[in-house]
Structure 1
Amino acid sequence: MKIFVYSAHRFEKHFLEKAAQGKHELVYSAYALNENTAKLAQDSDVVSVFTSDDVSAGLVNLLYDYGIRFIALRSVGYDHVDIIKTKELGIKVANVPAYSPYAVAEHGVALLMALNRKIILGQQLMKKNNFSLDDLIGFDLHGKTIGIVGTGKIGTAFAHIMNGFGCNLLGFDITPNEELIQQTNISYTSLEDLCRQSDVISLNCPLNGQTKYLFNKNLFSIMKKETIFINTARGSIVNTKDLIEALGNKTIAGAGLDVYENEKPIFFSNHLNNVIIDPIFDKLRSLPNVLITGHQAFLTKEALTGIAETTFSNINDWANGEKCPNEL
């Protein structure tokens, strides 16, 4: 099959080529899928897209007109895809429902540790020959309460790590994870109670109609002033303006973010010679109690291998006329 890969990044090509095993023709484009680039996939059998691509209804129509009947996602999330429209047109879509959950969970812990122990500030001061410790006080994680919103595979991995630190775990999920309850000290509670009790809150839930702006001024207002807020899930689960306000007036202590609600035109690209016009993002990254990474939590060899292998497992199923278990 001829596969057009949108938003192709140098870091993933090796893994994609290895997983393809020479069975398919791959055409790479650094461009994201949009109205101007959809025609590039003409004459292809499959398009492969990333989270930064636009697969809304209008784009689905364009892809259909160009003969595309299969869309292979290189991601777990599919909130950027109009699934109703793809079903209406008969375009098959499959995602990567799971890859190394440890990649994202461990990155969340890294953000937490860096914020709590003032690692970035300490390095900046050291480079200036300032070895004073006065502004570098953190707190022990041992014995603290960790609130985990979403206890699927990534939330479970994060819970196990925090359990190893000797933390008390609170969970919030539509469906409690009974296996996790047996393996750790986690107890499930309401979202409001979790926010009131937790010293650290980690978001690990998907973005959908129920979770968009789930975290807003109301929830931030009931958190502890010492709370560190971690988001490695999706940016739009959080109302960024409300988060900025909470951080600015010290309603909460800090935030470690790997995602941002308006990240699509910013993340995954080099803007060294460009001006980023986004006052909300500028304000967010200027705050001293915020640490932001550019949606890199998934970026480990193990995760990239898993993403590539599942992507081509999906494509191989289609090529062989077999039912793909990951179709949406």
Structure 2
Amino acid sequence: MKVAVFSCKPYDKRTLLAASDEHQEIELFFFESRLSLETISLAENFDAISCFVNDDLSRQVIDRLASYNVKAIALRCAGYNNVDLCCAKAHKIPVFHVPDYSPTSVAEHAVALIMTLNRKTHRAYHRVKEGNFALEGLLGFNLEGKTVGCIGTGRIGAAFCRIMIGFGCNVLCYDIEENRHVVSLGAEYTDLETLYSRSDIISLHCPLNASTHHLINKHSLSQMKPGVMIINTSRGALVNAQEAIDGLYRGQIGYLGLDVYEQEGDMFFEDMSDNIIYDSVFQLLLTFPNVVVTGHQGYFTDIALHHIADTTLENLKQMLSEGGEYKRELTFKN
């Protein structure tokens, strides 16, 4: 099986090559380019492709992949909102993802954003380097006793709840189905309106779909406590960035931590330090002292990278039958 690996950074290549030692039947070819209509020709003559969070797997792209006789799409991530699954199903192209690469990696990064915003360690670091040891402006609050709202209680959300309960927080949860493990930890499920009104901190751990698009908007913000902390380590489009900025100006949002951004595709995972970033909304977000943005690094730990590589190759291996033919019955692999 010849596999074209898109959006491949040096760390992806290292871990995939290390994992491929046990999968001699799979031959990997690496492309740093993101998959798009402009780069789709690179996928010609390959049996399968492997993609990441910001690759374009829209109908037009999948139609072209089908015309190239590409037989499988292996995502190196949990989310699949960038894939037209209906189109893939119509072309009988199975789509695989990595649902459980390391839930604690993202959960711990969400907590890191909370701690950074609360205790202002990012500002303290620069002050001390300049010889400024004044504490004025660095006042934080105790997490113990605070109410934390967790929207989405899958693997990552459950790991986040466990950590926050360990801090002594009261954890409220919202999801379409209750996670019994989360309840056993001591968290309480409630409706969104109650979660909004009672939470001091709200962390997003839900997938991006039609019902969660711009979940954080002017209407939902109006139901929250003034000065609420909002954390998003899931998908950028869960937050309406312009309306979040309006909330920051009004003081409705007291702290905002983002590891993802709706228009991140042309920026994140790249060194843009010598470039002008033509996104006025993103640039404005960076001017707020109570906003911390990281570049989609929540998943980025050694354990997660190795698990992503292993699972991606295992998914591709499943496509091969004993006779070397491709199994076509799967449309989506959980």
TM range (shorter): over 0.9
Report 1:147-296 matches (<5 A): 147-182=149-184, 184-296=185-297
Q: 1:137 — aligned with what?
A: 139
Report 1:46-61 matches (<5 A): 46-61=48-63
Tell me the distance in 1 between the aligned counterparts of 2:66 and 2:292. 41
Residue of 98, 106, 109 corresponding to 1:107: 109
Q: 1:306 — aligned with what?
A: 307
Q: What displacement does 1:225 show?
A: 2.2
* Greater alpha carbon shift after TM alignment, 25-34 vs 122-131: 122-131
- Tell me which amino acid in the other structure corresponds to 2:261: Y
Tell me the distance in 2 between the aligned counterparts of 1:136 and 1:88. 56
Q: What displacement does 1:326 show?
A: 5.8
Tell me the distance in 2 between the aligned counterparts of 1:217 and 1:290. 18
Q: What displacement does 1:324 show?
A: 6.2
Q: 1:87 — aligned with what?
A: 89
Q: What displacement does 1:263 show?
A: 0.6
Conserved 8 A contact 1:317-1:324: no
Percentage identity across paired residues of the two chains: 43
Conserved 8 A contact 2:47-2:72: yes
Tell me the distance in 1 between the aligned counterparts of 2:43 and 2:12. 19
- Tell me which amino acid in the other structure corresponds to 1:189: T
Tell me the distance in 2 between the aligned counterparts of 1:293 and 1:305. 22
Residue of 63, 66, 89 corresponding to 2:65: 63
Q: Which runs of 5+ in 1 are unaligned?
A: none
Q: Which runs of 5+ in 2 are unaligned?
A: none
Q: 1:2 — aligned with what?
A: 2
Q: What is the TM-score when the length of structure 2 is the normalising length?
A: 0.95
Q: 1:316 — aligned with what?
A: 317
Residue of 105, 116, 119 corresponding to 1:117: 119
Q: Deviations over 1:191-240 (max 9, x none)?
A: 11111111111000000111101111011122222321110011101111
- Tell me which amino acid in the other structure corresponds to 1:13: K
Q: What displacement does 1:273 show?
A: 2.2
- Tell me which amino acid in the other structure corresponds to 1:213: H
Q: What displacement does 1:276 show?
A: 1.1
* SS, match of residue 194 in structure 1: helix
Q: What displacement does 1:179 show?
A: 2.1
Go from structure 1 to structure 2 and tell me whether the alpha carbon gap of 1:324 and 1:103 turns closer, same or farther (over 3 Å shift): farther
- Tell me which amino acid in the other structure corresponds to 2:242: K
Q: 1:327 — aligned with what?
A: 333
* Greater alpha carbon shift after TM alignment, 146-155 vs 184-193: 184-193
